[in-house]
Structure 1
């Protein structure tokens, strides 16, 4: 069986790196992975993760999703421009009060997270249509379904991705193309660490005192606890992504974190949209002690299950 060409964006770290390494290491050698990143100086971590596969099932290329020329040059460098699976992963985050964010910062998030995907598809989709074959996999987020406090602009970019793909999926069916949205919840990566650190350094002088305190003493204070309790690893998301890619009939949407699913289910339980907003408000501002206790309980359960699993592996 011939290897399928997979083009992945944002592979210098995190989810993109994990997906690239996982597919390149496939025992059955079903994939030829073109792992791309904006800055090739940041390829060392990927090289370490999959060094024996470089030049075989893995090639590293430069691609900036904010540049049409960069995308075109990368695709043209692939033999016959053959991209059978596209994994759109490159993205950037932004947290904090909107009063403290510049329009330029907001535009950069939209340019990367939304228009980056659009640029990729403008270059790759026509070839897939001609062949009437291909799978487009987008690393979205549960925040493309449900907005979260102080993630206004990031959520907006993912909502845009979800609406765009939901519209495009109808057309894709006509050309026998598959389109899948992977929707992780919290994922413990360098991406999230940088978002948190940028939030810690944010100048909050543009916000009123109550909003600034809410961001610092409620959001940032609980940030690490949420990730430690509910967070997945990038490798876990990569496993989910590989299963979707290998599926004969891949779903349009796939959430990777069952711990987070009850949160997004609220969105569909109330057509008026009040239930999730009211629930999150009460969790954050009225029942914060119960919320934190629940996070600690989940963290304990996950630690104990992991400990049991590790002991089991060592014993065997």
Structure 2
């Protein structure tokens, strides 16, 4: 069987781990997965989750998206340097007032989330173009479409990713390549817990009282409730992504969380851009009871929906 080679970044935990194990456990054994991570000493969870696929349909390799030499060494180690499906997943989060964040920390987020993808494609794209065959899958975010309070830098990195891919997609068509942006909303993983814990440690001394109070008593206070209401599991996102990579004609964008879609739809409903900003402002600052009622309603929808996946995309599956 001619297996497709899948290279995935950021596989030590969360979505990356779920993606690697889901694809490697494909019943039809259509894929050979190279699951990568920056620090191989953090690979225990993946090894355990991989089970019998390890050494068969999965191999674990070192790759740091912030290091061009590391990326090249990883790709050089692959048979014929071939990557059929690249899944760019490695990322960093950041929350809080920008007055309280260092430029160096902001640069780290951009370096990982945006330039990490760019580095990968500089190494892998030329061969995909030469073969006129390949699928680039990017784990983006709804925050690449709609900015969210106190996620300024993270949203900026995802906006950059979306603009980059949207521009590249036109060129990719010329080479018969597919690009797909996977756009989850909140996902309940160790990644999100770490972001929240770092947020709790934020030194708010450089922020004014109103901003500090807004971050502590509105944003952080509601953070967990929002995730409990809207949050998906990493396995759910992996299942959506698996369906995307098995399509003959995969979509350019795919949101994995239908409960979040009405919020991003606001942006497209108003060309001036005022509607989503005004709506979010009123939800956060003027209608506390409405906000909580909305979350309770979404909880009911989630309960009724269960774990069922809705139809995906515009193409058929292989």
Structure-to-structure mapping, 1:114-193, within 5 angstroms: 114-193=114-193
Please give the alpha-carbon distance, in whole angstroms, between the structure 1 residues aligned to 2:223 and 2:217. Answer: 10
**Does the residue aligned with 1:35 lie in a helix, a strand or coil?**
strand
- Normalised to the residue count of structure 1, the TM-score between the two structures is 0.96
Structure-to-structure mapping, 1:259-278, within 5 angstroms: 259-278=259-278
Aligned-pair distance for 1:45? Answer: 0.7
Structure-to-structure mapping, 1:57-136, within 5 angstroms: 57-136=57-136
Output one character per residue of 1:46-65: Cα deviation in whole Å (capped at 9) or x when no partner. 11111211000000000000
Aligned-pair distance for 1:104? Answer: 0.3
Please give the alpha-carbon distance, in whole angstroms, between the structure 2 residues aligned to 1:298 and 1:161. Answer: 29
Structure-to-structure mapping, 1:1-316, within 5 angstroms: 1-303=1-303, 306=306
Judge conservation of contact 2:259–2:298 (CA < 8 Å) in 1: no
Runs of 4+ in 1 over 4 A off after TM superposition: 303-307
Aligned-pair distance for 1:296? Answer: 2.5
Q: What is the aligned partner in structure 1 of residue 310 from structure 2?
A: none
Please give the alpha-carbon distance, in whole angstroms, between the structure 1 residues aligned to 2:274 and 2:19. Answer: 36
Aligned-pair distance for 1:304? Answer: 6.2
Output one character per residue of 1:252-288: Cα deviation in whole Å (capped at 9) or x when no partner. 0000000000000001000000000000000000112
Output one character per residue of 1:180-203: Cα deviation in whole Å (capped at 9) or x when no partner. 000000000000000000001111
**Does the residue aligned with 2:205 lie in a helix, a strand or coil?**
coil
**Does the residue aligned with 1:7 lie in a helix, a strand or coil?**
strand
Aligned-pair distance for 1:294? Answer: 1.8
Please give the alpha-carbon distance, in whole angstroms, between the structure 2 residues aligned to 1:255 and 1:304. Answer: 20
**Unaligned residue ranges in structure 1 (runs of 5+):** 308-316
**Unaligned residue ranges in structure 2 (runs of 5+):** 308-318
Output one character per residue of 1:73-101: Cα deviation in whole Å (capped at 9) or x when no partner. 00000010010000000000000000000
Please give the alpha-carbon distance, in whole angstroms, between the structure 2 residues aligned to 1:151 and 1:220. Answer: 12
Please give the alpha-carbon distance, in whole angstroms, between the structure 2 residues aligned to 1:224 and 1:300. Answer: 17
Please give the alpha-carbon distance, in whole angstroms, between the structure 1 residues aligned to 2:196 and 2:38. Answer: 22
Instruction: Say which is worse superposed, 269-278 or 291-300, in terms of deviation.
Output: 291-300
